[in-house]
Structure 1
Amino acid sequence: KALESLPVNVLNHFDTDHKSSGHLYLIRVQGKTREECNEIITKMAEHGVATNVHYKPLPLLSAYKNMGFDIKNYPNAYALFENAITLPLHTKLTDEEVKYVTDVLKECIG
């Protein structure tokens, strides 16, 4: 609920058609580029909130680049990656920490 006022889409973990392990809390920041999301990640780190990017498209990894794969040939993969950020999620995260993470995210998104 704390993210409802933000321009983000949250990965749906559970619905009638599927269930997720729920081990990652992925968001997609609407209207942001990869560079802008990297700035958000940096700002959040400056506030002590560790975020990350999971599931980078394989053509962005050097092993695949060296084999000749080019991200330009995988526009859908890049589109899913471009504005994705993974927020902290673990079993010992307190309600206060969740509030802090969401407050910092609100500030960093602007």
Structure 2
Amino acid sequence: MLLSLHGQSKDALAKTKLGTWEYDIAGLWYKCNMTDIHAAVGLAQIKRYDAILARRREIIEKMDAAFAELPVETVRHYTDEYRSSGHLYIMRLEGKESRERDQFIVRMAELGVATNVHYKPLPMHTGYQKLGFDIKDYPNAYEQFKNEVTLPLHTRQTDEDVAYVIECVKKCL
């Protein structure tokens, strides 16, 4: 709550209760109210949510099966203990460094497949470096980042699209 209410320690409803008007501003943060349009989109999406999750799972299971014997490590989305919303398909290129990962990303792009990296560690961003953060102090973050690639995963992907992504990954490894 603090980050989205200008750093205020209470939301508007809490301040309307008898005798509880006073609040503190704990930091210089943001004002991020949801608009009516965002709420309307959310209500429409929530009706489709089960179908969205089911389609994501289909895609994830196809890619997991296709990559099982390849030199990649994929994030497990579904176990007996948990299940993911499946909004990202993250894999790591085993034994590769960031330069090799970046070359893989370029080769995928040349084949028409947009990939991404989720996420670049904060100490590698200029703003954090200006504050004194250094990635050398966060070796685990760098290890997770250096060979990570995020593949396309969205519910408008056809089975043919998914097969093409799989084919391209195999070509580019």
TM-score normalised by structure 1 residue count: 0.95
Q: Distance in 2 between matches of 1:45 and 1:101?
A: 11
RCO greater where, 1 or 2, for CA within 8 Å and sep 6 or more?
1
- Structure 1 stretch displaced more, 96-105 or 13-22: 13-22
- Flag the structure with larger Rg: 2
Residues 5-57 of structure 1: per-residue CA shift (max 9 Å, x gap):
21011111121222221100000110110110000000100000000001111
State the one-letter code of the partner of 1:92: R
Higher helix share: 2
Q: Which residue of 2 aligns with 1:2?
A: 66
- Within 5 A, what are the aligned runs for 1:10-21? 10-21=74-85
Q: Which residue of 2 aligns with 1:86?
A: 150
Q: Which residue of 2 aligns with 1:100?
A: 164
**Structure 1 runs of 4+ with >3 Å offset:** none
Give me the CA root mean square deviation. 0.9
State the one-letter code of the partner of 1:26: I
Q: Distance in 2 between matches of 1:56 and 1:73?
A: 15
